Amino acid sequence: MNVYNPLDATQAMEAAGLERRQAEAIARVIGDSKNDLVTNDILTLKLDTLESRLDTKLDALESRLNTRTDALESRFETKMDALELRFETKMDAALNRQLVRIGVLFAAILTLACTVISLLNSVK
């Protein structure tokens, strides 16, 4: 890793044609600003820490969402089962009414057929 040396920087700027005072001022500003910089290792460590915290929070959120989704799914299934039972009950009642109607119609048709046969026999 390169460590900043203000003396080397001042000498390099003097060699490039700057006056010593200007070179020293620039080297000082650069040195002061380097205190605000971070190394790759520190940045990587901070990013890894943030990533870990974010993963933990996302896992917790996912768990909460799964719990809520499961609860909603359970409520939905319970309501669907109740609706299915109501539908089946109503359909069974309607089917029974239709069977009674068919039975009555069949009895009427049979009675009519017997009456017709009896009338035909009496006409002979």
Which tens digits make up the pLDDT trace of 20-31? 999 999 998 888
Predicted local confidence at residue 47, as pLDDT: 96
| Interval 75-122: pLDDT, tens | 999 999 999 999 999 999 999 999 999 999 999 999 999 999 999 999
Percent of the chain with pLDDT over 90: 77
DSSP 3-14: PP-HHHHHHHHH
Predicted local confidence at residue 71, as pLDDT: 97
Predicted local confidence at residue 39, as pLDDT: 80
Report how far Cα 32 is from the mean position of its chain's Cα atoms.
Answer: 48
Q: How far apart are CA 9 and CA 16, in angstroms?
A: 11
| Interval 34-54: pLDDT, tens | 777 778 888 999 999 999 999
Predicted local confidence at residue 100, as pLDDT: 96
Confidence of residue 1 (pLDDT cuts 50, 70, 90): low
